[in-house]
Amino acid sequence: MTRILYDLAGAGDRRFSPHCWKTKMALKHKGLDFETEPCTFTEIKDKVAFAGAERVPTLKDGESGIGDSWAIAEYLEEAYPEAPSLFGSPDGKAFARFANEFADTAMLPPIANAIVYDIHEWTVEADRAYFKSSREEMMRRSFEELRPDRDDFVGRFRAAMVPVRRIVGRQPFLTGDRPHYADYCIFGMLQFARVTSDCELLRANDPVLAWRGRILDLYGGYAAAEPAVAA
């Protein structure tokens, strides 16, 4: 049986979706084999319609089709109870839920505002007009209007990261000595920026960068293999 993850793909096959990274790390954590099916923005709807989904990540696992990264994490945990747990415990699941919301609501908006025009450069030609108009509508500002405010968004992002910084400065992973899904939720956002932009979201001595390095090294350097724009 081939397990297929429908994954956002850009120019040069760059894989930059923050939510797809959450899911790819979850599959690796579970030790489940999978292939990725690259989808450009304009291909997504047709390719994932089989699952009743409209976005990626979408997973095809045998007869099952599941959309949404959180729903996929819950599915994997239920379908593969013998594999290493994504959450560690029921309390761990509640914390992962918090981390997922934190990633999506406190991290993603300032990151996206700071780098959206860099991501545009990584979209394939056929996606460019759609990406620009949809993202400018989402952010209610044009790319040109956003550019001068990059430092402001970076400052907001760094301030939002205080609780994460304080935790990973004291222990190897957010969830303790070993990583779990909560770590991957936060990591997905940083990987999104790492592979699309040279924007210095975090200072070189930030403990969050060292933690990111530990996640990049997991599973034989799976996430590190996706090329970074800056060192």
Ligand X SMILES: N[C@@H](CCC(=O)N[C@@H](CS)C(=O)NCC(=O)O)C(=O)O
Q: Give dist(CA 61, CA 56) in Å, integer.
A: 15
Residue of 44, 86, 182, 185 interacting with ligand X (CB under 6 A): 44
Q: Give dist(CA 42, CA 10) in Å, integer.
A: 11
Residue of 36, 40, 69, 113 interacting with ligand X (CB under 6 A): 69
Minimum Å distance from CB 189 to ligand X?
11
Task: Give the x/- contact pattern for ligand X in 168-187, rule: CB under 6 A.
Answer: --------------------
Q: How many residues bind ligand X (CB under 6 A)?
A: 13
Task: Give the x/- contact pattern for ligand X in 4-43, rule: CB under 6 A.
Answer: ----x--------xxx---------------------x--
User: Closer CB to ligand X, residue 89 or residue 134?
Assistant: 134
Minimum Å distance from CB 169 to ligand X?
27
Minimum Å distance from CB 92 to ligand X?
19
Minimum Å distance from CB 211 to ligand X?
21
Question: Nearest-CB residue to ligand X?
Answer: 55
Task: Give the x/- contact pattern for ligand X in 99-138, rule: CB under 6 A.
Answer: -----------------------------------x----
Q: Give dist(CA 182, CA 114) in Å, integer.
A: 24
- Residue identified by tokens 């994504």 is 86
- Residue identified by tokens 């923050």 is 18
Minimum Å distance from CB 205 to ligand X?
30
Which 137-156 positions form the footprint of ligand X (CB under 6 A)? none
One-letter-per-residue 3-state SS of the chain? CCCEEEEECCHHHCCCCHHHHHHHHHHHHHCCCCEEEEECHHHHHHHHHHHCCCCCCEEEECCEEEECHHHHHHHHHHHCCCCCCCCCCHHHHHHHHHHHHHHHHHHHHHHHHHHHHHHHHHCCHHHHHHHHHHHHHHHCCCHHHHHHHHHHHHHHHHHHCHHHHHHHCCCCECCECCCCHHHHHHHHHHHHHHCCCCCCCCCCCCHHHHHHHHHHHHHHHCCCCCCCCCC
Residue of 9, 25, 27, 56 interacting with ligand X (CB under 6 A): 56
User: Closer CB to ligand X, residue 41 or residue 122?
Assistant: 41
Binding site for ligand X (CB under 6 A): 8, 17-19, 41, 44, 55-57, 68-70, 134
